[in-house]
Amino acid sequence: MLRWHRDLMKRRHARASGRRGPRRPRTLASIRRLVLRLATENPVWGYRRIHGELALLGITIAPSTVWEILNTAGIDSTPHRATVSWAGRQIPRADQ
């Protein structure tokens, strides 16, 4: 009787710990392209500004997802990417 119960519990936990099915769906490729386009065309915008612009367009996406898309594409954060002053001149970065 004890062996039967132990085997039953073993099978139950093995089934519960297995793959549970589909996870969160991937971000659409069109949204990824739009995020990357907004980032390259507007170098002074950070991920939160891009998120806000997407929200104005009616696209629901988390700010962290925008950050992840930019990070995966190798686009630096705003202070490193944007070196434009108010006058529109390029300001050299300190590490150059």
Q: Tokens 């710990």 label which residue?
A: 17
Q: Tokens 């793959």 label which residue?
A: 19
Is the pTM value of this prediction over 0.75?
no
H-assigned helices in the chain: 2-17, 29-41, 47-56, 63-72, 78-81
Distance (Å) of CA 23 to CA 7, 26, 44, 56, 72: 29, 9, 34, 27, 20
Q: Does 40 reside within a domain?
A: yes
Q: Which range of residues forms the domain containing residue 66?
A: 27-83
The rounded mean pLDDT for the chain is 81
Q: Does 92 reside within a domain?
A: no
Q: For the chain, what is the domain count? A: 1
Tell me the pLDDT of the chain (96 aa) as tens digits. 888 888 888 887 776 666 666 777 888 999 999 999 999 999 888 899 999 999 999 999 999 999 999 999 988 767 665 555 555 555 555 555
Are 75 and 39 in contact by the 8 Å Cβ rule? The answer is yes
Q: Does 5 reside within a domain?
A: no
